[in-house]
Structures are given as C-alpha cells and as structure tokens.
Amino acid sequence: MKLKPWVPREAVKIELGRQSRVFLGVTALLGPAYARFVLRLSRIGVEGRERLAEEYRRSAADEGRFILAYRHPGDADPHLVFHVLTNLIRGRAPATEPDGRPGAWYPSGTEVQLWASPLVLWALRNAGIVPVRHGAVDRAVLDYLVRAVSERRRPMAIAPEGMATLNGGILPELDPGTTRIALLAAERLASSDNPVPVRILPLAIEYSYERTTSPARLGRFLDRLERRIGLDRSAPGNETPEAIKARLLAIWERLVDVAEKSFARSWGLKPAPAGSALAERLAVLLDASISRMESFYGVPPAATLKARILNIRAESLRRVFYSREELAAMSPLELGAARRGAAEAYFLDKIYMTAALGQFLDPGYLDGTPHFNRLVETAQNLHDFANRLEGMELKHRSKYFRKDARVIVGEPIEVSRRPGEGRKEAAERVERELEEGFRRLIRH
C-alpha cells in the first residue's frame, strides 16, 4: 500500500450551494452508468415519491420550506441522494430553480479536499456543496445554512448521522446540527414577511443484497479475507446463515487480536482484561486510542465517543488547512515545519479512521438469526476494518458486492417551538421525533 501524507494547503473556496447547468447536464447523461459501475447499484427505487413531491410543491409555491434529512448507512449515499433528487424525480416533482430540477444543495466535510482530484474538486464546486468542518462550529457557514434554508425554495439535504455508519439496521446517535438549523430557519421565517413553516423530511436508505449476492459469493469473499488475516479454515462448510455468522465472528475475533497487538506495540495501549467479550475489547481499544489522541492534541474529552472522534478529526485538519494569507507569509523554514505537521496529522489520522469505523462495529448486530443484508454488511465492514488497520481509508472500501438501493420517504416533521418551550428543549424534541421517524423506516 502506498501512503501519501497530507501537505499544507489553502482551504478551497467552494461556492456555497450553487449548481451549474453544465454539471447537471453531465450528471443526467452519466448518472445511470455512474450508479451502476461506480456505486455498484443494480436497481434504484423511491418509496413515498408522492410525499416527496408534495414537499417540493409546497416549497415551490412558497407555502413552506423543508430540509431533507437522509440516513448515511453506506459510502454511496450522498451520490445516490443527488441522483434521485436531481434526475430520478425530475418531472414528477416541481422544479425549485430555473435549471428545471427539484434538486437540493448539500453540506459536506471540508476534508474531502484532501483526497479530491481536480475532477472531483470541479464537481464539488458545481454540485451545490457547502463545505463544513465536522467537530467544529463555523459561524459564517451556520448563518449561511440558516439563511439559505429559509430563503431558498431548493431544500438542503443533510445526513444527521454525520458520517457513514455502514450498518443499515442500526440508527446511531444523530448530530444536533440539523434540528438546530431547522429551528433557527423557522424562527427567521416567523419574523419575516413570509412566515411559512419549516419541516424536516426523513429519507431512509436501504441497501439489499438478497437479489444480487448469493451465499456462495459471500462465502468466497470470506475465504479471501480469512487468508489475508491469517485465519485457518480447515474445511469448507455450508453457507447457511449460522455458518456465515460463525465465520464472521471468528474473523472479528482475529481482527481485534491483531488490533490489540498493533496498538500495544505502536502506542503502548493496554488491551481489555483477559476473558473480556469481543464488544468490550473493541470498546477499550477505541477509548484508549482516542484518549491518547486527545492528550496529544490537547482536546478535552467530549460527552460521547462519536463527538470525541469528530473533535480529533477537526484538530488534525487544523494542521493542514491554512488561509491564503498565512501560507503567503511563511518563510521556507515555516513552510517546511507546516509540511511536517501536516504529515504527522495524516499518520495520526489513521487512528481516527480506525475509530470512526470501530465505533459502529457491534457483534450484537448479528444476534439471533441475522438478516442476509446484515451478514453482507458485516463482511464488508470487517474487510474495511482490516484495511484501516493497514492505514487505508473509506475510499478503499470493497466494491465486490452489487446491491439494490431503495430511498424511503418518511412522514414530515413540523419544526417549531411550542408555547413555553425554549430553543434547546424544542431542538431536543424535534431530534427525538426525527430519530423515531428514521426507526420506523428501518426494514432489516
């Protein structure tokens, strides 16, 4: 594997939330091929299309504004949502801008700039992307998001999970930013000349492998993973769900063994006590590694593991991105020191990448007789975990499995403050309603 450390760079100025006709034309032409051959999507369906069209109708008629809150269980989600909202429902939902598409605009992490090619950067500038820093509050961007939600007919599409969780059947902790933006936009509208309501529309994304993947194909994938991690499999067995589950748990055990030894040698981290369950061993490993990173960066621990992980990412990126004025003022020595700091942040970020996936790895996901989709998801996640122990990232995730995708539109959630309710209490209530809306849409 070839590692390419980060170098200091200026934060790319991406036009906030605007889309070019050229880019939209290219995506309309190439979208189906991109979905099939790059995203590995065999079929795409939309359930609840009428509900989605109604929200677009209300917004286009200035009867309301809405935010599309989509689940983020996989690496293809933002591309899939863009394709659905820009191309697949075109003509079935009202256009919200002169380009003729229903569409949306999308907050996305600034870290994408670190690996993006010139072609990807061009796409970001023209796809309606708003760059945001995970784990940090950018007041100017927050103000823009609130203003744009309240003023633009075209909705914001955002993933409240904050990162790819890679398990479609489990809803993780949601970031509070979505409901906060929605409430601030609702308050702004309430005091304006156009006092229309704001709603959040939940979109679930379900990937199915039952039609596209056979148990035998899954078994061959596990064969290769077992050989890679040095796990002997004395004799091939049948590919029943129980047999596949047993193999997955054995792979899981072996990967945690390797992680404990690697982290102990590299970081001096002590593993969980002997006899600990698999989930506990992984939790101890993640907590210890993130604690070490917090100590290195001088970051006080946040309340949850997810928030701690995002705070670490934000601090690592501070070692990479500089303003144009800062870079221009650097002497050759200062630039060399900045290059070293960026490279150190890159290698430390491999701990972040491992923890970002590890927080969502729960053996309980396979309890009982698991759905076939869960077996495939777990196999991919364990392959990804092995990748990250070697220093690889989400972009190296396996493309071995084709899948069917379904975007499921939930019931809209009214965003407002009830009588006697403070902003914080209202945000927490709306967030609970959004969580419940997502849970009702989980199918496996």
Which tens digit of pLDDT belongs to each residue from 236-273?
667 899 999 999 999 999 999 999 999 999 989 999 99
- Identify the sign of the CA torsion 290, 279, 428, 66: positive
Classify residue 56 as exposed, middle or buried by CB count within 10 Å of its CB (0-12, 13-18, 19+): buried
Which tens digit of pLDDT belongs to each residue from 213-240?
999 999 999 999 999 999 987 556 678 9
How would DSSP label each residue in 293-353? HHHHHTPPP-SSHHHHHHHHHHHHHHTTEE-HHHHHT--HHHHHHHHHHHHHHHHHHHHHH
State the pTM of this model. 0.92
Token pair for 421:
């309710």
Per-residue confidence (pLDDT) for residue 141, from 0 to 100: 83
Please state, in angstroms and rounded to a whole number, the distance separating the CA atoms of residues 9 and 174. 31
Q: What is the mean pLDDT of residues 405-427?
A: 94
CB count within 10 Å of CB 365 equals 18
Residue with the larger pLDDT of the pair 167 and 410? 410
Which tens digit of pLDDT belongs to each residue from 365-415?
999 999 999 999 999 999 999 999 999 888 888 999 999 999 999 999 999
Indicate the helix (H) or strand (E) that contains 271: none
Per-residue confidence (pLDDT) for residue 10, from 0 to 100: 86
CB count within 10 Å of CB 302 equals 16
What distance lies between CA 23 and its chain's CA centroid? 23
Per-residue confidence (pLDDT) for residue 16, from 0 to 100: 67
Per-residue confidence (pLDDT) for residue 290, from 0 to 100: 95
Per-residue confidence (pLDDT) for residue 1, from 0 to 100: 57
Per-residue confidence (pLDDT) for residue 407, from 0 to 100: 97
Please state, in angstroms and rounded to a whole number, the distance separating the CA atoms of residues 183 and 430. 9
Phi (first) and psi of residue 186, to 5 degrees: -65, -40
Indicate the helix (H) or strand (E) that contains 226: helix 215-228
Place of tokens 């290769």: 224
Per-residue confidence (pLDDT) for residue 123, from 0 to 100: 85
Report the candidate in 160, 217, 204 with the shortest Cα–Cα distance to residue 402: 217
| Contacts (Cβ under 8 Å, ≥6 apart) of 251 | 222, 225, 226, 229, 231, 382
Query: Would the pLDDT of 27 be above 70?
Result: yes
Q: What is the mean pLDDT of residues 287-316?
A: 92
Which tens digit of pLDDT belongs to each residue from 176-210?
889 999 999 999 999 998 899 999 999 999 999 99
Name residue 364's amino acid: G
Query: Would the pLDDT of 135 be above 80?
Result: no
Query: Would the pLDDT of 14 be above 70?
Result: no
Please state which of the ranges 151-160, 228-237, 418-427 shows the lowest mean pLDDT. Answer: 228-237
Task: Judge contact between 132 and 108, C-beta under 8 A.
Answer: yes
Domains and CATH numbers, the chain: 9-210+403-439 (3.40.1130.10), 215-396 (no CATH)
